[in-house]
Structure 1
């Protein structure tokens, strides 16, 4: 059981891990040992996720989500299988936590008050008077 939040826990059997050869650091070892981890999590069919969290997770996943609703994360930055595995799982947990946060309420539109409109117009008139006074003096020729 993998704890995500107080209300959400993932079962171990919901996550499928596959080990592949990495393209990252490792020298000659990189050609022989499968250290990279491809983690798969079926978002659509997961009984652990509430529906609203699953929908937000699918939006957050973007290109990492297949057409079948499976989230695919690949970790290959480390030289060992264990560290790549831990990183992939950590990224999955972080994504689900982010999706579990409810979205902020929509912004309510407001109109400027009558007093603020009046202040704005008065300051514009004052500024205009200052600028008009800068011109050439108009005298009688």
Structure 2
């Protein structure tokens, strides 16, 4: 069970991952999407910017490496950071939550270690069952044919 940090400036982003709230910066702009004339007046498009070093300190090294591989279009250089956009809603707050949700999904996917696939071979009994099933199927199909009057 992850421990809760002592200071109040850290927020839980994903299971076992806590980030400084000051590391996450939001900017808002006028964006497309639903809203009609409201789109032209209100800054609802949210952009979350998060330096990679803040994530590097908050996650295990193997998970951070997986996150960097999976981040794709969210990854930006100079300085290295994650940039996540959302303009799904008419509400600035809803778009802000959508950005945090996308970040959470990225982190949870990175923390989920895939099982190592170990190649296996079928047992002798499994091979025999397969051959028996093929013979049985062959007999069924051969019985459907018209008898030869040779």
| TM value normalised by structure 1 | 0.78
CA, structure 1 residues 71+127, in 2 after alignment: closer, same or farther (shift >3 Å)? same
CA, structure 1 residues 118+91, in 2 after alignment: closer, same or farther (shift >3 Å)? closer
Per-residue Cα deviation, 1:56-103 (whole angstroms, up to 9, x for no partner): 2222222221245421111112222222112212221232122222x2
Structure number with larger C-alpha Rg: 1
Deviation at 1:16, TM superposition (A): 1.7
CA contact (8 A) 1:39 1:73 kept: yes
1:32 maps onto 2:41 in alignment: yes
Deviating more after overlay: 33-42 vs 64-73: 64-73
- Hey, what does 1:124 align to over in structure 2? 134
Please state whether the residue corresponding to 1:77 is helix, strand or coil: coil
User: CA RMSD for the aligned pairs?
Assistant: 2.4
1:14 maps onto 2:26 in alignment: no
Per-residue Cα deviation, 1:2-51 (whole angstroms, up to 9, x for no partner): 203453200012212111111122222322221111111122x1222222
1:80 maps onto 2:87 in alignment: no
1:112 maps onto 2:112 in alignment: no
Distance 2:131 2:34 in 1: 65
- Hey, what does 2:148 align to over in structure 1? 136
Structure 1 residue runs without a partner (length 5+): none
Aligned residues: 136
Structure 2 residue runs without a partner (length 5+): 1-9
